[in-house]
């Protein structure tokens, strides 16, 4: 059941990506976020804690034109994001991970607000060099949720802060598949076009 939901989640995001990328090239990417921060989680008792420093770039695509076609006219931001990332894992041992996440991002206040809180849901793929008792494979899938906010200090530039929760597993491809749950605090700069 969980494997089926993960696959459905990823397919939904791929369909959204296809719609967003079919938009006019000059209007496709509406913003870019450059984020970094700190990630932590718990591993098997003998291995210690999971600690990482990620670097992420989010390419944001406006979903409002797609929603307007079905007569839905939201005032807050509604975006699809593609987020490639790389992270230095420094605990329990020096390793790295890289991958990409597909996100749906929903604003709370009108998009013209100087302060813009938002929520995000995402899924993606991950490759990590870390060998742990939780995971038998190094290629994994990730499901994430996030809350955050942009504060625009100029018309097109914002300070962004975000908190995330992430679940990493291989969707039952190989045992053991206990998963690694982790939390992230990130900050960065957003450029709006």
**Encoded tokens for 40:** 């932590």
Average pLDDT over residues 40-65: 88
**Residue 1 to residues 6, 9, 166: CA-CA distances in angstroms?**
9, 12, 19
Average pLDDT over residues 141-145: 94
Using pLDDT thresholds of 50, 70 and 90, give the confidence band for residue 147: very high
Average pLDDT taken over every residue of the chain = 85
Express each pLDDT in 77-111 by its tens digit: 999 999 999 999 998 889 999 999 999 999 999 98
Average pLDDT over residues 43-69: 87
Tell whether the model's pLDDT for residue 126 goes beyond 50.
yes
Burial 40-56 (b: 16+ CB within 10 A, else e): ebebeeebeebbbebbb
Alpha carbon distance, N-terminus to C-terminus of the chain: 41
Lowest mean pLDDT among 1-10, 57-66, 168-177: 1-10
Average pLDDT over residues 178-190: 92
The CATH number of the domain covering residues in 2-192: 2.40.160.20
> Domain map of the chain by residue range?
2-192
> What is the pTM (predicted TM-score) of this model?
0.81
Positive or negative: CA dihedral 164, 51, 180, 123: positive
Using pLDDT thresholds of 50, 70 and 90, give the confidence band for residue 10: low
Check residue 92 and give its pLDDT: 84
Average pLDDT over residues 35-42: 95
């Amino acid at each position: 059941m969980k494997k089926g939901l993960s696959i459905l989640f990823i397919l939904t995001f791929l369909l959204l990506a296809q719609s967003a990328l079919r938009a006019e090239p000059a209007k496709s990417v509406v913003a870019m976020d450059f984020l970094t921060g700190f990630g932590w989680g718990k591993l098997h008792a003998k291995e210690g804690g999971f600690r990482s420093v990620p670097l992420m770039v989010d390419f944001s695509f406006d979903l409002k034109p797609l929603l307007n076609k079905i007569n839905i006219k939201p005032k807050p931001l509604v975006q699809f994001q593609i987020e490639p990332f790389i992270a230095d894992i420094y605990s329990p041992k020096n390793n790295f991970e890289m991958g990409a996440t597909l996100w749906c991002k929903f604003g709370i206040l009108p998009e013209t607000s100087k302060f813009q809180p938002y929520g995000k849901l995402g899924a993606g793929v991950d490759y990590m060099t870390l060998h742990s008792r939780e995971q038998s494979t190094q290629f994994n899938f990730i499901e994430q949720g996030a809350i955050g906010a942009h504060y625009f200090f100029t018309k097109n530039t914002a300070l962004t802060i975000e908190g995330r929760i992430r679940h990493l597993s291989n969707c039952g491809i190989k045992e053991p598949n206990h998963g690694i749950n982790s939390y992230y605090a990130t900050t960065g700069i957003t450029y709006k076009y």
